[in-house]
Amino acid sequence: MAPGIRYNYSAWFRDYKRVAEYARVHYPLAYVPGSEHLTLKRKIWEFEEGDFVITVPPGAFRCPPAPYERAAMIAYVFKKNNVNGRVIILDPKGDIAPKGPGFRAAYEQLYLGIVEYVPNAVIKEVDPVNKIIKTTAGDFKFVDANLSPPHQAGSLVWMADLIAKDKDGKPTRWADQDPITFQAKADPHVFLLEDVISGVPYPKSGHMANSQGKIVAKIIASRIKGKEYKPTLPDNVCYSMVNGDPQEAIVVSATYELKDGKIEPRTRVINERSKALAEATYEWAKALYRDMFA
């Protein structure tokens, strides 16, 4: 089961569904493929002036570098089109992660005065109609925005009652599964993958999903054959584009090992942007598409 994520607008708007729908339609997140991405693209290219706000979701969310990469690319478009605009990143965390130094270098060296990074900005209130966001780091008015409420596991996991519970018995946002075999703790015949999982130090990324999918396929195939299979741990590679002309990117990779029953990450990063890494970005994506769609 790998249904991806859904957006938790109730964290901002409680039961006010009309306001949530307004926010979703007018300021789409573009984290789930479809028309949201086209809307966001149009907004960026048609932006004329003012502040464009990006909110970083709290806690775990799909594609950790996405808000920062988007900020860089939007800033590139503003710079290219001589737009009198700013990109403001409202981040509940204290610093950019992953690839913090790489993104900060790009903002300072390529987009000075265009990108403003606001750390420790926990959202208190979002008013999509009057275009104001209130945070613990101040209030921010915007002309347009990429508003991202907290992410949570996709609806299918909730319907199947496979969401993990916290110590008070309340549902968390993510599924409850074995960290090595990905089997749902409530039902060993169900395997839960990627964005929906919890309790493991894996980023919620497409590369990870591809890697985990192969491990689970082997587990299932072994079970069908009545053979034992010792699962391996997945890996992750993540390229982020930070400049549009010339195209330049940065990269982080992680492999994992089991130490004393705990999954430990081994992370490597290149924060120095380069054209070579930008080319590698396309090959990284194309290779995954080849694997999935060939």
Restricting to residues 170-229, which ones interact with another protein according to CB under 8 A?
Answer: 207, 211
Enumerate the H helices of 47-182 as residue ranges: 66-80, 100-110, 155-159
Least Å distance, CB 250 to another protein, is 10
Q: Which stretch binds another protein (CB under 8 A): 11-19, 40-48, 177-185, 273-281?
A: 273-281
Among residues 130, 168, 224, 294, which is the contact residue for another protein, using CB under 8 A? 294
Least Å distance, CB 126 to another protein, is 38
Give the SS3 label for residue 176: coil
Among residues 42, 124, 165, 290, which is the contact residue for another protein, using CB under 8 A? 290
Q: How far apart are CA 236 and CA 207, in angstroms?
A: 6
Q: How far apart are CA 250 and CA 246, in angstroms?
A: 13
Cβ 226 vs Cβ 255: under 8 Å: no
Asked if residue 100 binds another protein (CB under 8 A), the reply is no
Asked if residue 276 binds another protein (CB under 8 A), the reply is yes
**Residue 194 DSSP one-character state:** G
**Per-residue string for binding with another protein, 36-75, x by CB under 8 A?**
----------------------------------------
Least Å distance, CB 285 to another protein, is 9
Asked if residue 105 binds another protein (CB under 8 A), the reply is no
Q: Which stretch binds another protein (CB under 8 A): 43-51, 78-86, 97-105, 264-272?
A: 264-272
Least Å distance, CB 251 to another protein, is 6
Is 18 or 225 the residue whose CB approaches another protein more closely?
A: 225
Asked if residue 279 binds another protein (CB under 8 A), the reply is yes
Beta strands, E only, the chain: 5-7, 49-55, 84-90, 115-118, 123-127, 132-135, 138-141, 144-146, 151-153, 163-165, 171-175, 183-184, 187-191, 236-244, 247-259, 262-274
Asked if residue 258 binds another protein (CB under 8 A), the reply is no
Residues of the shown chain interacting with another protein in the complex, contacts defined by CB under 8 A? 207, 211, 235, 237, 251, 253, 255, 268-270, 272, 276-277, 279-280, 283-284, 286-288, 290-291, 294
